[in-house]
Amino acid sequence: MRRVALGIAGAAVLACVVSRGAWAQPPSQPAAQQLEQVVVRFYATETGGTAQPRFIDERTLAFEARLEAMAEKSDGIGDGYAERHVRAALERHIAETMLASLGDQMLKDLPAQQRPSPEAVGSATHAFSDAAVERLGGRPRIDRAADAEQLAAAEVDVLLARGAIAAWYLDREVAPILRPTDEQLREVFRTSAHPFRGEPYERVRDALARWFVVERERVAETAYLQQARSRVHIVVTK
C-alpha cells in the first residue's frame, strides 16, 4: 500500500481499472468476489477522519470512469475509457463523498426549526438526479454501463443519491446552483458551448436549465476539492 497525492490515482490502479474499459462484455468473475477488490482507501476531515476511512472498489471506479466517458459522447456505454476518465472518476467520487457527508451531517445537526423538510430536500435532490441522468443519456444507458461492471440497480441509486446530496449541500452552503434564473439561462444560451445551439431559447429553456445545473455543480465540486486537497489522504491498496 502507498499514499498518493490527490489527483494521481497511482499507476497500478490506473492500469488495473483502465484495462477494464476494453471489456466489451461483463467480466466472468462473480460480483460478490469483485466487491472485495478495493483499490483505494481515503479519509478526510469531512468524512470523519482516520476513524472512518472510505473505500472504493474496482468495479465502482470502473463504472464511474464509464460515466465520465459517457458524458463526453452521446453513444455507447463508455467502453474503452481512458486514464483521464479514471482520474476524473476518482476525484469526483472523493469530492462527492466529502460533500454528501457534510450534507448528511448538517441535516442531523440543524435545530428542528431550521431543518428543511424531507420533502424540500427530496425535491431538490430528485431534480438534480434527473438532470444528471438526462445528461448521461437516460437511465437505461446508465444501467447498461452498470451491467458491464456487474453493478446492481440499487448500487447505481446510491451513487446517484450521493451526487444529489452533494449538489444540495453546495447549493445551500457554498453557492446557489440548483435554481438558475432566467437571466442566467439567457446569458448561458448566448455565450456558452451548450448542446442546444440553433434551437429557440423558449423551446429548450427547461433542458438548458437542467444542463446548466449539472455544469455548475461540476464546477463547484471541482473548486471545493481544490481547496480541500490538504485534508484528503488517499492510500492505494492494489
Residues 101 and 144: beta-carbon distance below 8 Å: no
Which residue's C-alpha cell is 452533494? Answer: 166
pLDDT for 33: 45
Lowest mean pLDDT among 28-37, 132-141, 157-166, 192-201: 28-37
CA distance linking residue 48 with residue 56, whole number of Å: 16
SS3 label, residue 44: strand
pLDDT for 115: 85
Is residue 15 scored above 80 in pLDDT? no
Whether the pTM exceeds 0.75: the reply is yes
User: Cα angle vertex 82, ends 81, 85, to 5°?
Assistant: 85
- Per-residue confidence at 36, pLDDT binned at 50, 70, 90? low
Which residue's C-alpha cell is 463508455? Answer: 78
Is residue 31 scored above 60 in pLDDT? no
Phi-psi category of residue 198: left, alpha or beta, with phi > 0 → left and psi -120 to 50 → alpha = left
What percent of the chain shows pLDDT beyond 90?
74
pLDDT for 236: 87
72-129 confidence digits (pLDDT tens)? 998 999 999 999 999 999 999 999 999 999 999 999 998 988 888 888 889 989 999 9
Is residue 12 scored above 80 in pLDDT? no
Contacts of 212 (CB under 8 A, 6+ apart): 180, 184, 185, 188, 192, 194
Residue-range domain boundaries for the chain: 2-236
CA distance linking residue 20 with residue 45, whole number of Å: 32
What's the whole-number mean pLDDT along residues 13-32? 51
Q: What is the DSSP letter of 57?
A: E
pLDDT for 13: 57
Q: Which residues lie across from 56 on neighbouring strands? A: 40
pLDDT for 23: 44
Is residue 206 scored above 90 in pLDDT? yes
- Retrieve residue 192's grid coordinates: 456558452
What's the whole-number mean pLDDT along residues 166-186? 94
Q: Which residues lie across from 38 on neighbouring strands? A: 57
Q: Which residues lie across from 178 on neighbouring strands? A: none
Q: What is the DSSP letter of 55?
A: E
Q: Name residue 206's amino acid.
A: D
- Per-residue confidence at 232, pLDDT binned at 50, 70, 90? very high
pLDDT for 7: 52
Which residue's C-alpha cell is 441509486? Answer: 157
CA distance linking residue 175 with residue 42, whole number of Å: 26
CA distance linking residue 165 with residue 185, whole number of Å: 23
Strand order in the sheet with 232-236: 2-4, 232-236, 38-44, 54-57
Mean pLDDT for the chain overall: 87
